[in-house]
Structure 1
Amino acid sequence: MVALMRAEMGLSPDEPVPVMDEAAAVSAFDSRRARVAAMLELNGLGLADAEMAPEEEAVLARIGAAFGFSKAETLGQRDWVLRQVALVHEAGTMMMGEG
């Protein structure tokens, strides 16, 4: 997922990620669509090991607030990612003939 996110930012695998303060980073996502997409990707990254650690939750809550999302919106984004992951697993099970 990190490689995909780097590609979406136009960064080569060996190029360092630019360092910027939080305000500059938030302003780089200049539309609601971009902010929601980023939050969905970040939730997916946080859930890559099938768990959301408390530290990951705290970071996502802070980013969501910086993007102007309410707590309910931030939790709704996580819920959407959880449902998407469940559907992907369900599709895999169907493809293996186990369901």
Structure 2
Amino acid sequence: MATPAGSGARPGRDSQGLHDFAGQGLGTGHAGHQHVLDWRRLGTALGAAKLPPKKKPDTVAAWVTLSAVKHGSAVVFTSDPGDIEAYLALMHPVDVHIVPV
């Protein structure tokens, strides 16, 4: 979420309260549980992905992939399409596209 310069607003907050990385509102009842599930999903992806030869697990690529899967109808521009494809294979996305750059 962008914060206008000099507005005094803090990133991650708006008049409705806290928001997560995808702009979804965080409820007080189960927000922590959802984030734990996301971290578990990332850990599983990092350990189980069939990455291209000579590649190591990449936390940022896994997090970008999870964000795209959760968002839906996403396009990921990347210089490492093999990494993203490996993580996508584990997450079974509905509508995520990869564009190599």
- Does the TM-score normalized on the shorter chain lie above 0.5? no
TM-score (norm 2): 0.30
TM-score (norm 1): 0.31
